[in-house]
Amino acid sequence: METKKQLIDSFKKVCLCRSIKAGTITAAIQEGSLTFEALRKNIGVGTGNCKAKRCRTKIEERIKDYKDSLNTNSETGAPPCG
């Protein structure tokens, strides 16, 4: 179950040029888009006017956090959190 903060965060726009919200990005990451380029191809992040100058670091941080959570959970045997 998501916390209130995670729920609110999922509605925040991360890619401003394309109006792509954090929840959309998180879902794509969980479905296997584990690089910025994969997310660009699958959901169009970083294809707006700024060419990812504003959103790339935020998106790459989300990918890193997700991969870290997978590594942590595989060490503890817990299922990945979403």
Q: Is residue 48 part of a domain?
A: yes
Q: Is residue 1 part of a domain?
A: no
pLDDT in tens, 29-55: 999 999 999 999 999 999 999 999 999
pLDDT in tens, 60-69: 999 999 999 9
> Per the structure, how many domains does the chain have?
1
Q: What is the value of pTM for the model shown?
A: 0.84
Interval 23-27 mean pLDDT = 96
Range with lowest mean pLDDT among 4-8, 23-27, 48-52: 4-8
pLDDT in tens, 10-23: 999 999 999 999 99
Return d(Cα 3, Cα 7) in angstroms, integer.
Answer: 6
Return d(Cα 70, Cα 49) in angstroms, integer.
Answer: 33
Q: Is residue 81 part of a domain?
A: no
Q: Is residue 32 part of a domain?
A: yes
Q: Is residue 57 part of a domain?
A: yes
Q: Is residue 6 part of a domain?
A: no
